Amino acid sequence: MRLFRLAKIVSVSLRFGLDRMVLDADASGRLARIWHLVYFWRGFSEPRAVRLRRALESLGPIFVKFGQMLSTRRDLLPTDLADELALLQDRVPPFPTEQALAVLEGFYGKPIDTVFDDFERTPVASASVAQVHFARLPDGTEVAVKVLRPGIERVIEHDLALLDAAALLLEKIWPEGRRLKPREVVAEFSKYLHDELDLMREAANCSQLRRNFKDSSLLIVPEVYWDWCGRKVMVMERMHGVPISQTPALLAQGTDLTALSRAGVEIFFTQVFRDGFFHADMHPGNIFVHQDGRYIALDFGIMGTLNEVDKSYLAQNFLAFFQRDYRRVALAHIEAGWVPAKTRVDEFEAAIRTVCEPIFDKPLKDISFGKTLLRLFQTARRFEMEVQPQLVLLQKTLLNIEGLGRQLDPELDLWKTAKPFLERWMDEQIGWRALVHGVKEEAPAWAGTLPQLPRLVHQALSDAPRQQAAQQQRLDQLAAGQRQQGWLLALVGAAAAAVLALELYRLFG
C-alpha cells in the first residue's frame, strides 16, 4: 500500500515536474546533476507555482485543501508559490442526494420527511468534507443541514498517509526542505481536518460564539438545534444575507461599507482580546451580511483560542511596535521566556528594528498587523522562539481580516480601530481596573473557601501545641548550631590575634 502511494507521488511529480522544482533548489547537488542528465529532454513551459497548483488539483480535494492551507503559510513558502496556491478553489461536485439521505436516515433511524419538512434535495453548497441542504423543522423553523460526505474519513486517512509519505520523501532528498518542516505542516493539517470531521465539535464552537455575541449589534451567529445534531450532521438556524464578496448586492441592500469594514476589525479584536476565542476560517465564503448591516458568521470548524499569556504577548508587542519601541518588543520576548534568557537584548532589538522599521515607510493606516506579526515571528524564530500554533492561526486570520477590511474600505485605518482594544486590555491588566477585575475573578473561589474557614481555624488552633513543640525543637537545634559557630569564631579570632601579635613582635620586637 505504502509502495503504491509512493509510486503515485512519483508519477504525479514527474508529470508536473515537481522533482525539478525540488532539485533546482539544490542545483549543485550530486543527485540534481545526475537527474538532469537522465531527464535532459524534459522542459516545462509553465512556471513552477502553476505546476504545483495543477499537481495538487489532479490529486483530489484533500490535496486542494492542503494547498489552500499552505498558501497561508507565508512564513514558510516563497511568495510566488503562496500567491498561486491561494487561487485553489475548494469547489467539488456535490455528492448524490441519495447518499446524503442515507447518512441522515441512518442517523435519525427514520425517513427524512418525517424528521424535516421541505428537505431541499438540491444542496445549497458542496465542499470536500461536507455539503449543506436547506430544510424546515416540524415547527416551521428554517434550518441549514450540514452533512459529512459519505466515506470521507477513509479518503482523508488515505490522502493524509500519502501526504506524509511525500513530506518524508522531501525531507530525505532535499536537505533545504527540512527547514520547511514538511512533516510538521502535514501533522498540523491533519489536526484541522480531523476537527472538521466532527460536526458536534463544530456545533459546540458555533454555540459558544453565539453566546459570546448574544446581544451584539455587530455580529449574528446561527442557533444550533442540538436535538437534530450528531457527529456527521449539524442542524442550525438558516441565515439570510448577502455574501461579503458581492459588493454590488451589498450596496443595493443599503449596507454602509465603511462602517462594515470597521465593524469587521472590531469584531475580530473583541473575539481576541475579550473572549480569547476567535473564528479562524474567515474566508469570504463564510461571511455574510444581514440586511440590518450586521455580519453573519458561518462555518465554525476552525476556531482559535488564546490564553492570558498569549493576549499579553500580542497587546504588548503591538503597542510597543506602534510606538517604535523595539527594545520593549525585545524585552517582552525575553521577560516572558519566549526566547532564551541568554539572548542579547541589543542584538535581538537590532534584528527587530531591521524588519520592522521599513514598515513605517507607509502611513500608519496602511500598516498590516498580520504582516508585522509574520515578520516578528520570522525574526523571533531566528532567536530560537517556538511560535505557538494558536499565534500562527491568529496571524493568518489577521491577514484575512485586513484583506477583507481594505477591500470594503481602502481608507480603513486599522491602527485607529484596534488601538482602543489594546489599550483597554492593557488597562485591565494593570491599574485599578485590574484589581477590581482580579477580585471579581477570585470571588467565586472565596465563596467555596469561606465556609471552610472555621474548620481550618479550629484545625490550626488544635494543631498549635504540636506545631509549637516542633518549632521549639527546631529553635533548639538552631541555637546549638549558633553556639557551635560562636566557639569556632572565637577560636579563629584568637588564632588570628596570636598570628598578628607574633608579626608585630617580629617587626618591632
129 annotated ligand binder: yes
45 labelled binding-site residue: no
Cα–Cα distance, 362 to 371 (Å, whole number)? 13
Q: Is 193 in the site for ligand ATP (CB under 6 A)?
A: no
28 is in an annotated binding site: no
| Beta partners for residue 296, in sequence order | 220, 288
Residue 239 interacting with ligand ATP (CB under 6 A): yes
Q: Is residue 462 a known part of a binding site?
A: no
Cα(180)–Cα(444) distance, integer angstroms: 47
Q: At what angle do helices 326-335 and 308-322 cross, to 10 degrees?
A: 160
CA nearest neighbour of 196 among 227, 163, 152: 152
Is residue 349 part of the contact set for ligand ATP (CB under 6 A)?
no
Q: How open is the CA angle 241-242-247, to the nearest 5 degrees?
A: 155
Give the residue with the Cβ less far from ligand ATP, 250 or 329.
Answer: 250
Q: Is 479 annotated as a binding residue?
A: no
Cell numbers placing 7: 509510486
For ligand ATP, the closer CB: 221 or 352: 221
Minimum distance of ligand ATP from residue 339's CB (angstroms): 36
User: Is the CB of 124 or the CB of 500 nearer to ligand ATP?
Assistant: 124
Among 8, 73, 158, 238, binds ligand ATP (CB under 6 A): 238
Rg (CA), the chain: 32
Residue 152 lies near ligand ATP (rule: CB under 6 A): no
> Could you give the CA distance from residue 33 to residue 25 in angstroms, rounded to a whole number?
12
Binding of ligand ATP at residue 90 (CB under 6 A)? yes
Other Cβ atoms closer than 10 A to 134? 16
CA proximity to 412, closest of 475, 450, 369: 369
Question: Which region, judged by CB under 6 A, interacts with ligand ATP, from 15-23, 187-195, 233-241, 449-457?
Answer: 233-241
CB closer to ligand ATP out of 129 and 399 = 129
User: CA 292, CA 468: separation in Å to the nearest integer?
Assistant: 72
- Give me the residue label for grid cell 504525479: 12
Question: Applying CB under 6 A, does 127 fall inside the site for ligand ATP?
Answer: yes
Q: Which is nearer to ligand ATP, 19 or 223 (CB)?
A: 223
Three-state DSSP state, 307: coil
CB of 173 to ligand ATP, least distance (A): 33
| Binding region for ligand ATP (CB under 6 A) out of 181-189, 231-239, 473-481, 495-503 | 231-239
**Pick from 407, 71, 389: nearest CA to 265:** 407
Residues designated as active site: 281
Give every CB contact of residue 258 below 8 A, 6+ residues apart in sequence: 408, 409, 411, 412
CB 297 within 8 A of CB 221: yes
Q: How far apart are CA 128 and CA 156, in angstroms?
A: 10
Does residue 129 bind ligand ATP (CB under 6 A)? yes
Site residues (CB under 6 A) for ligand ATP, limited to 257-316: 285-286, 298-299, 301
- For residues 105-124, which are near ligand ATP according to CB under 6 A? 124
Tell me, residue by residue from 205 to 224, as one string, x for binding to ligand ATP by CB under 6 A and - for no binding: -----------------x--
Mark the segment that binds ligand ATP (CB under 6 A) among 125-133, 209-217, 329-337, 491-499: 125-133
Interface with ligand ATP (CB under 6 A), residue from 132, 224, 263, 306: 132
Q: Does 398 bind ligand ATP (CB under 6 A)?
A: no
Cα 367 to its chain centre, rounded Å, is 21
**Residue among 104 and 298 whose Cβ is closer to ligand ATP:** 298
Residue of 152, 236, 272, 414 interacting with ligand ATP (CB under 6 A): 236
Q: Is 130 in the site for ligand ATP (CB under 6 A)?
A: yes
114: left (phi over 0), alpha (psi -120 to 50) or beta: alpha
Size of the site for ligand ATP (CB under 6 A): 19
Rounded to whole angstroms, the Cα distance separating 467 from 335 reads: 40
DSSP 118: S
CB of 108 to ligand ATP, least distance (A): 19
Residue 180, C-beta contacts closer than 8 angstroms, at least 6 positions apart: 76, 77, 170
Least distance to ligand ATP from the beta carbon of 30, Å? 43
**Closer by beta carbon to ligand ATP, 59 or else 132:** 132
The response to whether 126 counts as a known ligand-binding position is yes
- Non-local (6+) Cβ contacts of 177 within 8 A are 22, 25, 170, 171
- In 63-199, beta strands by DSSP E: 125-126, 130-136, 142-148
Of 113-121, 236-244, 259-267, 337-345: span binding ligand ATP (CB under 6 A): 236-244
Query: Is position 50 annotated in a ligand binding site?
Result: no
81 close to 25: Cβ distance less than 8 angstroms: no
Alpha helices in 17-151 (DSSP H): 18-24, 30-38, 48-59, 61-71, 79-85, 97-108, 112-115
- Beta carbon nearer to ligand ATP, 298 or 412: 298
Smallest gap, in angstroms, from Cβ of residue 234 to ligand ATP? 8
Which stretch in 77-85, 232-240, 350-358, 403-411 sits in contact with ligand ATP by CB under 6 A? 232-240
Nearer of residues 244 and 367 to ligand ATP, judged by Cβ: 244
Tell me if 245 is assigned to a ligand binding site: no
Which of 12, 11, 55, 20 lies closest to 39, judged by CA? 20
User: Where do contacts with ligand ATP occur on this chain (CB under 6 A)?
Assistant: 90, 124-125, 127, 129-130, 132, 144, 146, 222, 236-239, 285-286, 298-299, 301
Known binding positions: 124-132, 146
Known binding positions for ATP: 124-132, 146
